[in-house]
Chain A
Amino acid sequence: MNASETPERIVVVGASLAGLRAAEALRDEGFTGELTLIGDEPHAPYDRPPLSKAVLSGWLTTDHTELPRVRDIAARWLLGTSATGLDLRARRVELADGRQVAYDRLLIATGTRARPWPQQQGGTLHGVHVLRTRDDADRLRTALAAGPGRVLVIGAGFTGGEVASVCRDLGLEVTVVHRGDAPLASALGGVVGRAATGWYRDAGVDLRLGTTVRALEGDARGRLRRALLSDGTVVEAEVALVAAGAMANTGWLAGFGLAADAHGVACDHTCRALADDGTPRADVFVAGDVARWPHPLYPGQLLRLDHWDNAVAQARTAAHNMTRPPHDHRAHRPLPAFWSNQFGVNLKCLGLPSLADQVVVTQGSLDEHRFVAAYGHRGRLIAAVAADSPRVLDGYASLIEAGAPFPPELNATDGPDRLLPLDAGFAHRPAPVPDRPTVPSIPPAPSLRSVPAGHE
């Protein structure tokens, strides 16, 4: 059939948040044809944010993380099977077990995976963990519940902070080793980063800034025992969590004609995947953590947002566009938004702080754990971060979208008498190891061919 005709068979690869929500939205959009979901994990779609929060702390077991179903999707589920290849011409997805699944429209929603610790530096030792999946969380939970003498967390981004925070709640000793000058600094800048340093220290975390792990060492039975740090010190630990960012699950697409690499699959603003010559495919769409696309708020780059909200919104847009002719397509241009809970602080972020040159506290104060910080770029408001004020933050969304002047004139009743903008304090890009949220610094579209294959 032709790409402009109504599709009869839709295949979704990646059966997680974006895949499931897209499938539901396809049915909402009136798609009545054959719908297939392919996922390499054996589990029904589940929610990842609790894995580093309620699951690790023991409040929730992983079988309670299943994503709620918004509606019945009448789909064929192929779980526990990975997609290994793609034939764009014949419109077929190849599976690891040799099966082939034909499609009229394909949605790629394969997300990302945790960047592993290099094998030659101790990555295979028993006790070295990453955290991306349910199974990862079960393993880490078991390891923490066993009461290790000390936990080592490598990377003080969002995941690292959440895990360190839970460990302290569980009464475990924690050392966090972070390459940058402050936790969260690559995402939120030095000013909020310094506040976060206070949260770590107040919680009793042994925080090593400006430091890296040279190697992890084990005992004769291959169990983790210690880490050698760049400052020459040694940390004894039986459990380590590597929270060093994420890599896109695009290996299965290599060499099949799409603009896909370790950063993600490139697509246009309507979620259509780009072929490796940069032209959009009418029958292949992308959504969620694996997608990179040009966002009008952030010209000159392809954005990848490892955010829950984005996965849901992009899935809906993709589903809409997959079932409509091009003139009816919608653009995906959300205001980036995500949250994190760590050290008793609820953090919420709108926009992309990492692009800012200045920051100013507009409400509350940094040392009270309760504040809103606004970020500016060349005199325009581009992002805001709230600590323990999630509802207040919503009020900044329209100001950011409108590109309001920075510093913003708010006269908020809990604001300072005078706004004092500071240098936002971002290390010069390229940023250190990216953790979520990630904005890879990459050359501008459409010179897709020049996208470097292996960032970092």
Chain B
Amino acid sequence: MTTTTQQHTASDLFAQALRYENRADPYPYFAQLCRRPVVPEENGTWLVSGYHEISRLLRDPRVSADRRRPEEEQPIRKSLLVEDAPRHDQLRHQVTEQFVPRIMGLRDHIDGLVTGLLDAHTSQRPGQLDVVGDLAYPLPVTLICELLGVPREDEPVFGSIARRLTRGLDPVETQTEDELRELREARGELVQYLEGLIADRQAAPADDLLSGLMFGQGSDAPMDPIDLRVTLALLLIAGHETTVNLIANGTLALLRHPDLLARLRAEPDLVTPLVEEVLRYDPPVQMSGRSTLADIDLGGTTIPKGSRVRLLLAAGNRDPRRFSDPDRFLPDRPGNAHLGFGGGIHYCIGATLARTEAQVALTALARRLASPRLVAAPPPYRENAILRGPDRLLVSFDRLTPDPRSV
């Protein structure tokens, strides 16, 4: 029957997109998937790859953010990412109330951090920079630790936990037994670590987000210790494992489009639409998940109640029905309402922060790197398929000049 072959093809294409060999460029598979915007896999999970279809599901009241596999155990408490109304809305309100005022007016501070990170590599001679290790990773990590109130010296402990946990987000089929065991261990370590941190803060309140949530300084009630731990874990991981890819993917795009790099030097305002185009063209978060609470007619078919759904944000971002020339990197495209930060009630809380970090970092790279070139094309990628990005991004240059503004 034709449907079975088509279904087989969809699962197959998705499996291809997830294979590590294709990590540097999964997009041809997404493009093929996108031809059928809503299809079931053999295992009953639905793949949604059309822009409009994803957009609708992100906002559909018949959809739950709970994306657990049936065989998975129920967590003690769901984080707001996978929680539904009304609890989601309460948690989100508590977080935004603390988060938003703390990130306002942060641009100068971010600028200072970027300058400092690059100053460490200033050179009048040809050299190399690992954009991931030297800039894209330490920047967001420093910021999220400062915001939340995580001591910077704990970062190595925490960074290792975060890396192992992030891998755990990928489809279970793609993980080895060892990785799954590591994941369980990492979860245990994280709980321990955060409980310690919460206890410290309980004893000695500070001016950070953690204290804010704990004591409920805003209009909201204080968060109970379990919600606090779950929320903190979400923010820390989001802060560690996403923005790094935005900065790295943006750097890659600039190195692959020297004309744009030149334009960015001449026209600093270009950085705003440029970062948006990175979020469309090469999104740091490639997919998300949902489940259905009722039958949903979509894209010419019906997703039955109780189905798990994968929203392939990276595919929707290149849907030719929505974006013309979807495979071209065009910062000037009008109406670039990409899906990079999701949409609807779970729209990314960190979007403003992530945008600012990427804008500042890319502007500084453009300003200070003379004749940058990619050392390995494509660069080596991390294992992760969902939070996807380069592991290292070596760039060779003729010079890395001091910040021209401070000279």
Contacts and interface: CB of A to CB of B under 8 A. Distances in A.
Verify that A and B bind, or say they do not.
Answer: yes
A410 interface: yes
B175 to A, nearest CB: 29
Contacts of B263: none
B297 interface: yes
A402 B56 CA distance: 12
B84 A414 contact: yes
Given A410-B293, A412-B293, A413-B84, A395 B334 contact: no
B345 A392 contact: yes
A409 interface: yes
A363 B295 CA distance: 18
A411 B294 contact: yes
A93 to B, nearest CB: 31
A394 B293 contact: no
A285 B167 CA distance: 57
A217 interface: no
Number of chain B interface residues as a range? 20 to 34
Contacts of A362: 61
A395 B86 contact: no
A413 B345 contact: no
B345 A412 contact: no
Contact of A410 (B62, B86, B297): B62
Nearest to B86: A414
Contact of B293 (A372, A392, A402, A411): A411
Contact of B60 (A370, A395, A409): A395
B196 interface: no
B344 interface: yes
A391 B60 CA distance: 10
B64 A413 contact: yes
A364 interface: yes
Interface in B12-59: 56, 59
Contacts of B305: 411
A391 B59 contact: yes
Contact of A411 (B62, B297, B334): B62
Contact of A391 (B56, B294, B344): B344
Contacts, number: 56
A120 interface: no
Contact of A392 (B61, B294, B297): B61
Contacts of A370: 89
Nearest to A363: B61
Contact of A364 (B63, B86, B297): B86
B83 to A, nearest CB: 9
A394 B85 contact: no
Interface string B333-352: 01000000000110100000
B240 to A, nearest CB: 26
A309 interface: no
A417 to B, nearest CB: 13
A391 B293 CA distance: 18
Contacts of B64: 413
Nearest to A394: B59
B61 to A, nearest CB: 4
| Residue in A362, A363, A364, A394 whose Cβ sees the most chain B Cβ within 10 Å | A394
A396 interface: yes
Contact of A412 (B85, B89, B295, B347): B85
B260 to A, nearest CB: 21
Interface in B86-144: 86, 89
Given A372-B61, A394-B344, A413 B85 contact: yes
Nearest to B297: A402
A412 B86 CA distance: 10
Contacts of B347: 391
Interface in B290-327: 293-295, 297, 305
Interface in A374-417: 391-392, 394-398, 402, 409-415
B293 A395 contact: no
A361 to B, nearest CB: 12
B43 to A, nearest CB: 23
A410 B56 contact: no
Given A28-B334, A391-B347, A398-B56, A412 B297 contact: no
Interface of A: 28, 362-364, 370, 372, 391-392, 394-398, 402, 409-415
29 contacts: A28-B334, A363-B61, A363-B85, A364-B85, A370-B89, A391-B345, A391-B347, A392-B345, A395-B59, A395-B61, A395-B63, A396-B61, A397-B59, A398-B60, A402-B297, A409-B62, A409-B295, A410-B61, A410-B62, A410-B293, A411-B305, A412-B61, A413-B64, A413-B84, A413-B293, A414-B84, A414-B85, A414-B86, A415-B61
Closest 8 CB pairs of A and B: A413-B84, A395-B59, A414-B85, A411-B293, A394-B59, A412-B61, A414-B86, A395-B60
Given A364-B85, A413-B86, 12 more contacts: A362-B61, A364-B86, A395-B59, A396-B61, A398-B56, A398-B60, A409-B62, A409-B294, A410-B62, A410-B294, A413-B64, A415-B61
